[in-house]
Amino acid sequence: MSDASKFVAACVQMRGGRDPAANREAAVTAVREAAAAGAAYVQTPETTSLIERDRDALFAHVGPQDSDATLATLREVARADRIVLQIGSLAIREGEKIANRAFLIGTDGEIRASYDKLHLYDVDLPNGESWRESATYSGGACAVVAETPLAAFGITICYDLRFPALYRALAEAGATVLTAPACFTRQTGEAHWHILQRARAIETGSFMISAAQGGRHEDGRETFGHSLIVDPWGRILAEAEGDAPGIILAEIDLARVADARARIPTLSHARPFDVRRV
């Protein structure tokens, strides 16, 4: 008899480019490989369908949700392979801007939840690299916990990882597995990726599952890779080797969530406070 508190999770690491059809084919192949290896839950990275920095070129390839070919195809894959599939994000046209939208697909191929990335990556990095997501993307307004037969998943995307209050709120709302699929730049990934992933897991007593883009992309950006699955004690259960495309798998035992939260009950110990500046 199977243990309902345990399941195998997989991250798909990609090196997406400017051709949505090629990205879609790569995602389908990797997702099916993960399912064949025993994964009940599979996650793809942020911007699964397209990595394009040029705004005009991005808009030329992006349409509304109902006509997104990658979403339709991956819904069918989830249904055919009977997996819970989290699409890290797709670029979805919303008027004059684009939503960076994640999807949680059930084993029947139906969309169980969607989430628009809350925090937009407007930064200036030490090497001169600069990003202004707000020029193209619209930020979301609602955090999401998706209930599934496997677990309650708290859905986030990439830059959200730097905002710990979001993850605490998701855990307080019942999430036992937190997710942050990403397209993390190499510079910031080398400095902060592992630390932030482990911190969010430890702070909330939750699993962290984060599929990533990795390598040098056709639009010139370079991403860090190192997809991760981290347990509630902050231990890395699986990590992708560098920035190469591939899959990683790990067993998720939800009893570890209950154990970590019982040993160090920070979620129940938090107290309200004021800040006094003197």
> In 3D, which of 147, 127, 152, 123 has the Cα closest to residue 135?
123
Q: What residues does 269 pair with on adjacent strands?
A: none
Query: How far apart are alpha carbons 70 and 24 in whole angstroms?
Result: 6
CA 195 to chain centre: 16
- The CA distances from residue 66 to 26, 115, 230, 262, in Å, are 22, 16, 34, 43
Residue in 46, 52, 133, 239 annotated catalytic:
46
Query: How far apart are alpha carbons 222 and 185 in whole angstroms?
Result: 6
6: annotated active-site residue = no
Query: How far apart are alpha carbons 220 and 51 in whole angstroms?
Result: 10
**Token pair 């699955």: residue:** 229
117: annotated active-site residue = yes
Q: Tell me the three state secondary structure of residue 258.
A: helix
Residue in 117, 133, 183, 239 annotated catalytic:
117
Using a CB cutoff of 8 Å and minimum separation of 24, what contacts does 114-117 make? Answer: 114/144, 115/140, 115/142, 115/143, 115/144, 115/155, 115/156, 115/157, 116/140, 116/141, 116/142, 117/89, 117/156, 117/157, 117/158, 117/159, 117/160
CB contact set of 126 (below 8 Å; sequence gap of 6+):
187
Residue in 11, 52, 133, 158 annotated catalytic:
158
Q: Active-site residues: which are they?
A: 46, 117, 158
